[in-house]
Amino acid sequence: MFLEKQCFSNQLYKSILIIIIFFFTQSVIAIEKSESMESKIQILLGSHPELLVKYLESREKHHRSEHADVYPDPKFGFAYRSYPYRGDVTRDRSRPDTPGMTGNEYSIAQEIPFPGKLNLEKQIVQKDSELDRLNAEWIKNQFIRNYFETILIKTALTREIRDLESLEKSIVTGSHLESSQYSAGKSNITGTLRAINLKEKIKDRLVVRNTQLSELHAKTSYFSLDNSSFCMERHIGNTLDHSHGLHFY
C-alpha cells in the first residue's frame, strides 16, 4: 500500500513538473515572439525615410535652439574703395577734371540685437522644435496604423479569395450536376441557370478582390524596405491565419 502511494506521488510530481515545464516553455516562446515583433517594428520605424526626415528636422532645430541666444559672429572684411587724388598740380584745361580713384578699406562689424531679441528667437526655435517632434510622433503613430491596417486588410482579402475559389469549385461541380440532371430530364432549367448566374457572380467578385489585393501589394511595398519588414508582415499574416477568434469576410 505504501509503495503504491509512493509510486502515485512520484507520478503526480512528474506530471506537475511536466506541466510547469510546458507552460514555462510556451511563455518563453510567446515572450520571444513579442520581443522579436517589437524589435522588427523598431527597425522599420528607425529606417523608413518618411520618419527619419521628420526626426532629423526636429533634432536640427533643437541643436540650433541651443545657440540661438548668442551674439552672431563678428564680420571682418576687406573692401576696395574709391578715393579721389590728384597726381599733379598743373591741369590741362582741355581735359575734364576727372582725378584718379583708388583706396583700400578694412572693416569690422558686430550686430547688437535689441534687448530680449535673442531670448525670443531661442524660445521660437525651441517651440518649433517641440512642434516638429510632436508632429513626428503623430506621423509615426499614423505610419504604424496604416501599416497594420494594410496587413490586416491584405490578409483578410487573401483569405476571402481562397474561400471564393473554393466556393467557385463547388459551384462549378454543382452546375455540372444540374446540367446533367437537366439533360436527363430530371430537373428544370431554373437550377442550371441559377448555378451559372452564381458562378458568374463569384468570378466577378474574384476579379474585384484580386485587383484590390494587387493594389495592397503595391501599397505594402512602400513599407517593406528590407527583409525584416517582409518577415514581420508574414509573421502577422500567419498569426491571423491560425487564429480562431478573428474572421474577415
Helix orientation angle between 2-47 and 49-65, rounded to the nearest 10 degrees: 70
Lowest-confidence region among 82-91, 106-115, 187-196: 82-91
pLDDT one-digit tens code per residue, 54-66: 888 888 888 888 8
* Predicted local confidence at residue 143, as pLDDT: 84
Does pTM surpass 0.85? no
Half-sphere exposure of 117 (CA within 13 A, CB side): 8
pLDDT digits (tens, 9 = 90+) for 110-119: 777 777 788 8
- In this predicted structure, what is the pLDDT of residue 247? 42
The answer to whether 176 touches 195, Cβ cutoff 8 Å, is: no
Place of cell 436527363: 184
Distance, CA of 33 to CA of 39 (rounded, Å): 10
Distance from chain centroid for Cα 127: 26
Confidence of residue 248 (pLDDT cuts 50, 70, 90): very low
Tell which wins on pLDDT, 15 or 182.
182
Domains of the chain, by residue range, sit at 47-65+116-241
